[in-house]
Amino acid sequence: MQFDMPKPKLIKLPFAIPRAMENTPLIFQNRALLLLNKRDDTKNPGDHYKQSMYLYCLDLATGEEVARFGAGHSFVSGCVNGDEMNVFASEGTNHNWFQDIYRFWSRDLTNWQCALAVARDGNEHLLNTSVCRDDRGFVMAYESNQPISFCFKFARSADLARWEKIAGLIFTGVNHEYSACPVIRYFAPYYYVIYLHVTVPGQRGYVSCLARSMDLAAWELSPFNPVLECDQGEGLNNSDVDLFEYQGRTYLFYATGDQSTWGAVRVALFDAPLRDFFAAYFPPGVSGIHCSARQA
């Protein structure tokens, strides 16, 4: 789509967190933290793949690791509910990829509890998740390999503990296509999702795109897509976006790499609050491409 309007300005900051991919930045008890996970995909499949996985948390002010937990889990995401840290991750296996989604929660980052959050259907595999608060409680976008690799589905919860899947809604983009690793946020009346799209002509590598919806069913894609695409030194990948607002500015944490042997997390800055970031990608009077998540 071509129109005479400048694209919102994102500044990619000149640093990286090495050997990292899935992540969530957040504010917990007045500290800026970053949730991450370790996973050695060179061991997949193999007898030691699951034991290569764990979740951890960095203090963004000091760079120090302040928590390590969730052995055998990966594809981390998180959200804060008052004084409680909530973390979601998929349970790994040695020979059957990833399974159900579990919730970990703690008030001190030392003592963690764990329980099943979302179970897979049949032989599907569940991977990335993202959770945000809305007017009805909490909503989760979670990645699945069915009916296509990859897509994402939705679930609701009133308390972050008990989740109910939203039947009949599966986001598969415009053409029933690869739509991976979603991050979801809500600013009434819109839900916003940034998700990964495979390379298309004219774009550099795996790119991250933005869509919005008022009901999780009917979606509009930003006319400024992609939000992120590879620059020099970033391999072929700008994926696994998560983001937060810090001191009035928006920071997008995203993964670079080659989707196989190496990856690093970098950060892009939008010099305005999070609500303004999303609004900037949907300028008044300009309509994006529309698609539906409703399944026949």
pLDDT for position 201: 86
With residue 26 as reference, give the H or E element that holds it: strand 23-28
pLDDT for position 3: 65
The CA distances from residue 103 to 89, 142, 226, in Å, are 7, 13, 31
pLDDT for position 103: 98
- Give the tokens for residue 162: 């008990």
pLDDT for position 117: 98
**Complete domains list, the chain, with CATH:** 11-284 (2.115.10.20)
pLDDT for position 2: 59
pTM score of the predicted model: 0.96
Q: Write out residues in the chain with pLDDT < 50, as ranges.
A: none
pLDDT for position 200: 84
SS3 210: strand
